[in-house]
């Protein structure tokens, strides 16, 4: 039995070139970086040569769980998949895709914390794991098939209770915008092509074991109940979306959408979500009625139920039954997804019956099936935005051979016909023609290949951020805090720590009171009224990034955690900033408080930083990496920063934001690079030594 709870103690290393598998000691090698992204960054730093490209045989891909995965810790079902990321532009750099579902927990039950995949198989294979038995099996019969078929076939072969993570045709064809998918709707974006390059179709897992929890049963049960008591709805929104008797506050944008008179209308019989009062933990799963939130009020009648990941009380995946999808387009009428997973409709400029009518819902379901079966990543809907930009500006017509352009039935697109989506997704998955080859490359390469005009990178509505990826909760959520967070990553930042708090629905006065205890009251501005940079905002940004890394390594869902606020009026709406540390300590027996665990997260974030520097061969992160697009500073053109009614930033102010962010992390202000002192403080002397040998350590 491992000395600590939580971890199984074993990491699996699979070399597809040699067909060998090895077992490594998780605790000895990886405890200092917890799991998930932490392990991924460490493996890439230790083992993958600098400047390795995503589809090179030398690249490795790490599927990492963490000590909390599969323990029953609420929202602890995620898996982080870390690799040199294909869609980063122009250099291919480290990044992570994340998936929920039940795969990560099953891996733990099989006795494994992480899987490191290296090399390249000579022919298509899949990995079959049943407890400690690991086999590399032939996947010739699966290659060329979609994720749905591959998943079902493997389950027929190994048993219905097998958890499968698979790629579709897009991943096989090394489309940069491709996913790894588990459970038919839980996808890790951007990493599918790396598995494709290694000819690894899927990783299937069956486990009969369990995860040991260090705390005694009573302590653990009390902690779980306490954690549930301070959880809200999806994105840790802590007030309902409509006025309700029990609620002091409400916010129309809240994902706590349950209310009297709102139903899972396609359930038999229909189920009323009703009021879900915070103290009624048995009704937590009803709080987030997401279909109407994502797709509009017409989706109520199609909602069968809500679903989601293992051990998560927040059911954010809408399970729909839309008969017209089968009747009109030949796809299954049943579909489950959430958020941008319904983004097929976002390709269209309009629908005959409006933005949230029947055609929009049909497009959402048709698009979900195509993207999730072919294994295409829509890149936080940047694929759709780029498509519309190219179409509206004549760039598709200009860049496609005439015969190819004419082969696409554009009138169906102009008419808002959901069936048109098959043209888009199929061409991308198979890299058909210029359209399919270019669109799947991701924004950076697409824009270069089709010579998008300079305005593309400067216009606010394109959402372009940098390095081939879009913004993700940037200046419009937290002003400088959102900008700083978006600057730090190589893909769209996938950080929700700040946006969860800012979107929680509480009045700004209460948000400021809560912020004062964590970062300083100046961290929060009234919405649409940004004030100049201050140290509180920098603390908020650093906290946000560190908690994101912590969640992706423990693993906990960053779409719920941190729990900085709660729905409880009796607590003054305060959450618990130390909840991650409490869960970690109880599970592992390694007692750490919030500050100590944040320091581990800081170590992980620094690994991401030095990996980025190494592969960019650059020390000057400040000007070469930590950048924001012009639209952040120039839009709207007729307004001055720090006046009400917009989110326009000031360049000098953002310079000072960088200074403060670097200062808090002990990084060099001139370059934004970690220093020897900052690294050694985190126990990373060897990293500092190596950085020095690479000529990347500041003087």
Partner 1 sequence: MTGIRDMNAEEFKALVEVVRKASNEGELTLAAEVCQGGEDEFAALAVTAAPGAAADIIWICEGDKSYLFSERTMTRRYAEAAALGASRDPLRMIAATVRSESATYPRPTRLETFHDRPFCLSSEEITTAVARMRADAQYADIATARASNGAEFLFSSNHLSRDQAVSMAEWLAVGQCDNP
The distance of closest approach from Cβ of residue 48 to partner 1 in the complex, given in angstroms and rounded to an integer, is 33
Q: Which residues, at least 6 apart from 278, have a Cβ–Cβ distance to it below 8 Å?
A: 229, 232, 246, 566, 567, 568
Decide: is 386 part of the binding site for partner 1 (CB under 8 A): no
Are 171 and 196 in contact, with CB atoms under 8 Å apart?
Answer: yes
Closest CA to 244 of 287, 214, 306: 287
Query: Per CB under 8 A, which region of 117-125, 252-260, 438-446, 483-491 contacts partner 1?
Result: 252-260
Decide: is 477 part of the binding site for partner 1 (CB under 8 A): yes
- 196 versus 482: smaller Cβ distance to partner 1: 482
- 303 versus 511: smaller Cβ distance to partner 1: 511
The distance of closest approach from Cβ of residue 229 to partner 1 in the complex, given in angstroms and rounded to an integer, is 17
- 460 versus 678: smaller Cβ distance to partner 1: 460
Q: Look at residue 50 and give its three-state secondary structure.
A: coil
- 351 versus 584: smaller Cβ distance to partner 1: 351
Q: Contacting partner 1 (CB under 8 A), which of 528, 591, 595, 692?
A: 528
Decide: is 258 part of the binding site for partner 1 (CB under 8 A): no
419-425 — which CB contacts under 8 Å span 24+ positions?
A: 419/328, 419/329, 419/366, 420/347, 421/344, 421/347, 421/363, 421/366, 421/367, 421/370, 422/329, 422/366, 422/370, 424/347, 424/387, 425/367, 425/370, 425/371, 425/374, 425/376
- 302 versus 380: smaller Cβ distance to partner 1: 380
Through-space distance between the first and last CA atoms of the chain, rounded to whole angstroms: 46
Are 277 and 246 in contact, with CB atoms under 8 Å apart?
Answer: yes
The distance of closest approach from Cβ of residue 443 to partner 1 in the complex, given in angstroms and rounded to an integer, is 16
- 260 versus 451: smaller Cβ distance to partner 1: 260
- 418 versus 503: smaller Cβ distance to partner 1: 503
Query: Per CB under 8 A, which region of 100-108, 240-248, 591-599, 672-680 contacts partner 1?
Result: 240-248
Q: Can you tell me the distance from the alpha carbon of 458 to that of 633, in angstroms, rounded to the nearest whole number?
A: 10
Q: Contacting partner 1 (CB under 8 A), which of 92, 118, 275, 386?
A: 275
* Per-residue x/- track, 82-121, partner 1 (CB under 8 A): ----------------------------------------
Are 256 and 232 in contact, with CB atoms under 8 Å apart?
Answer: yes
Q: Can you tell me the distance from the alpha carbon of 250 to that of 232, in angstroms, rounded to the nearest whole number?
A: 13
Show the DSSP H helices in 189-315 as ranges: 192-197, 217-229, 284-287, 290-295
Q: Which residues, at least 6 apart from 516, have a Cβ–Cβ distance to it below 8 Å?
A: none
φ, ψ (nearest 5 deg) of residue 622: -55, -45
Decide: is 420 part of the binding site for partner 1 (CB under 8 A): no
Closest CA to 145 of 197, 100, 202: 202
Are 259 and 242 in contact, with CB atoms under 8 Å apart?
Answer: yes
- Chain centroid to Cα 307, Å, comes to 18
Number of residues that bind partner 1 (CB under 8 A): 34
* Per-residue x/- track, 335-374, partner 1 (CB under 8 A): ----xx--------------x-------------------
Closest CA to 428 of 245, 169, 70, 682: 169
Q: Is 445 exposed, middle or buried (0-12, 13-18, 19+ CB in 10 A)?
A: middle
Give 176's DSSP letter. Answer: S
The distance of closest approach from Cβ of residue 340 to partner 1 in the complex, given in angstroms and rounded to an integer, is 6
Q: Contacting partner 1 (CB under 8 A), which of 242, 318, 627, 675?
A: 242
Q: Contacting partner 1 (CB under 8 A), which of 73, 180, 251, 613?
A: 251
Query: Per CB under 8 A, which region of 61-69, 102-110, 239-247, 329-337 contacts partner 1?
Result: 239-247
Are 613 and 690 in contact, with CB atoms under 8 Å apart?
Answer: no
Give 2's DSSP letter. Answer: -
Query: Per CB under 8 A, which region of 21-29, 368-376, 501-509, 669-677 contacts partner 1?
Result: 501-509
* Positions in 538-577 near partner 1 (CB under 8 A): 569
Query: Per CB under 8 A, which region of 73-81, 176-184, 422-430, 520-528 contacts partner 1?
Result: 520-528
Query: Per CB under 8 A, which region of 36-44, 175-183, 209-217, 526-534 contacts partner 1?
Result: 526-534
The distance of closest approach from Cβ of residue 274 to partner 1 in the complex, given in angstroms and rounded to an integer, is 11
Q: Contacting partner 1 (CB under 8 A), which of 253, 352, 401, 409?
A: 253
The distance of closest approach from Cβ of residue 253 to partner 1 in the complex, given in angstroms and rounded to an integer, is 5
Q: How far is CA 589 from CA 210, 551, 557, 620, in A?
A: 17, 18, 21, 40
The distance of closest approach from Cβ of residue 404 to partner 1 in the complex, given in angstroms and rounded to an integer, is 31
Q: Can you tell me the distance from the alpha carbon of 432 to that of 307, in angstroms, rounded to the nearest whole number?
A: 35
- 351 versus 435: smaller Cβ distance to partner 1: 351
* Per-residue x/- track, 631-670, partner 1 (CB under 8 A): ------------xxxx------------------------
Decide: is 245 part of the binding site for partner 1 (CB under 8 A): yes
Helices (H) and strands (E) in the chain, counts: 30, 19
Decide: is 507 part of the binding site for partner 1 (CB under 8 A): yes
Nearest 5°: CA angle at 696, between 690 and 698?
110
Q: Can you tell me the distance from the alpha carbon of 629 to that of 476, in angstroms, rounded to the nearest whole number?
A: 14
The distance of closest approach from Cβ of residue 355 to partner 1 in the complex, given in angstroms and rounded to an integer, is 7
- Chain centroid to Cα 482, Å, comes to 16
Closest CA to 293 of 261, 255, 267: 255
- 508 versus 516: smaller Cβ distance to partner 1: 508
The distance of closest approach from Cβ of residue 121 to partner 1 in the complex, given in angstroms and rounded to an integer, is 37
Decide: is 692 part of the binding site for partner 1 (CB under 8 A): no
- 243 versus 330: smaller Cβ distance to partner 1: 243
Decide: is 401 part of the binding site for partner 1 (CB under 8 A): no
Decide: is 527 part of the binding site for partner 1 (CB under 8 A): yes
φ, ψ (nearest 5 deg) of residue 568: -95, 110
Query: Per CB under 8 A, which region of 50-58, 153-161, 184-192, 249-257 contacts partner 1?
Result: 249-257
The distance of closest approach from Cβ of residue 359 to partner 1 in the complex, given in angstroms and rounded to an integer, is 17
Q: Where do contacts with partner 1 occur on this chain (CB under 8 A)?
A: 242-249, 251-253, 259-260, 275, 294, 339-340, 355, 473, 476-477, 503, 507-509, 526-529, 569, 643-646
């Amino acid at each position: 039995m491992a000395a600590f709870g939580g971890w199984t103690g074993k990491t699996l290393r699979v070399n597809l070139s040699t067909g060998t598998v090895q077992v490594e000691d998780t605790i000895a090698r990886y405890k200092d970086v917890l799991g998930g992204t932490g392990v991924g960054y460490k493996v890439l730093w230790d083992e993958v040569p600098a400047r390795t490209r995503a589809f090179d045989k030398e690249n490795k891909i790490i599927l990492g769980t963490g000590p909390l995965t599969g323990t029953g810790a609420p929202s602890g079902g995620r898996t982080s998949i870390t690799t040199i990321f294909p869609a980063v532009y122009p250099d291919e750099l480290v990044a992570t895709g994340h998936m929920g579902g039940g795969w990560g927990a099953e891996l733990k039950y099989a006795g494994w914390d992480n899987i490191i995949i290296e090399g390249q198989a000579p022919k298509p294979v899949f990995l079959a794991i049943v407890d400690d038995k690991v086999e590399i099996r032939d996947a010739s019969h699966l290659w060329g098939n979609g994720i749905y078929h591959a998943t079902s076939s493997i389950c027929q072969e190994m048993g219905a209770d097998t958890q499968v993570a698979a790629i579709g045709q897009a991943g096989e064809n090394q489309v940069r915008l491709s996913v790894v998918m588990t459970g038919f709707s839980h996808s890790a974006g951007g990493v599918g092509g790396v598995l494709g390059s290694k000819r690894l179709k899927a990783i299937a897992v069956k486990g009969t074991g369990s995860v040991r929890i260090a705390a005694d049963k009573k302590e653990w049960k009390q902690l779980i109940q306490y954690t549930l008591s301070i959880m809200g709805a999806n994105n840790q929104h802590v007030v309902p979306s409509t006025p309700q008797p029990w609620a002091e506050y409400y916010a129309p944008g809240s994902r706590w959408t349950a209310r009297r008179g709102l139903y899972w209308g396609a359930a038999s019989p229909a189920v009323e979500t009703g009021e879900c009062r915070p103290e009624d933990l048995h009704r937590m799963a009803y709080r987030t009625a997401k279909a109407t939130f994502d797709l509009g009020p017409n989706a109520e009648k199609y909602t069968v139920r809500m679903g989601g990941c293992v051990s998560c009380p927040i059911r954010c995946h809408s399970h729909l039954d839309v008969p017209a999808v089968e009747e009109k387009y030949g796809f299954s009428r049943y579909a489950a997804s959430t958020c941008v997973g319904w983004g097929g409709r976002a390709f269209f400029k309009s629908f005959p019956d409006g933005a949230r009518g029947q055609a929009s819902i049909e497009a959402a379901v048709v698009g979900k099936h195509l993207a999730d079966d072919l294994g295409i990543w829509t890149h936080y809907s940047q694929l759709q935005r780029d498509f519309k930009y190219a179409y509206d500006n004549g760039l598709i017509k200009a860049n496609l051979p005439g015969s190819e352009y004419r082969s696409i039935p554009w009138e169906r697109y102009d008419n808002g016909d959901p069936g048109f989506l098959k043209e888009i997704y199929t061409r991308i998955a198979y890299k058909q023609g210029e359209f399919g080859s270019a669109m799947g490359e991701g924004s950076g390469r697409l824009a270069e290949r089709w010579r998008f005009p300079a305005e593309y990178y400067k216009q606010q509505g394109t959402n372009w951020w940098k390095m081939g990826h879009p913004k993700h909760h940037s200046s419009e959520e937290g002003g400088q805090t959102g900008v700083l967070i978006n600057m730090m990553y190589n893909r769209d930042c996938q950080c929700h720590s700040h946006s969860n708090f800012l979107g929680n629905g509480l009045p700004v006065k209460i948000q400021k009171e809560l912020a004062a205890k964590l970062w300083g009251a100046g961290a929060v501005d009234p919405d649409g009224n940004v004030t100049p940079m201050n140290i509180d905002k920098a603390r908020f940004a650093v906290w946000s990034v560190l908690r994101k890394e912590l969640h992706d390594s423990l693993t906990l869902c960053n779409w719920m955690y941190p729990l900085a606020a709660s729905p409880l009026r009796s607590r003054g709406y305060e959450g618990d900033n130390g909840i991650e540390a409490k869960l970690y300590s109880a599970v592992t027996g390694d007692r750490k408080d919030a500050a100590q665990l944040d320091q581990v997260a800081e170590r992980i974030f620094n690994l991401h930083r030095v990996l980025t520097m190494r592969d960019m061969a650059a020390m000057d992160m400040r000007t070469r990496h930590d950048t924001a697009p012009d639209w952040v500073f120039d839009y709207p053109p007729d307004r001055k920063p720090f006046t009400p009614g917009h989110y326009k930033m000031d360049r000098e102010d953002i310079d000072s934001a960088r200074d403060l962010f670097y200062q808090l992390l002990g990084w060099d202000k001139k370059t934004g690079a970690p220093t020897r002192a900052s690294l050694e403080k985190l126990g990373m002397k060897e990293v500092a030594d190596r950085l020095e040998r690479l000529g990347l350590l500041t003087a």
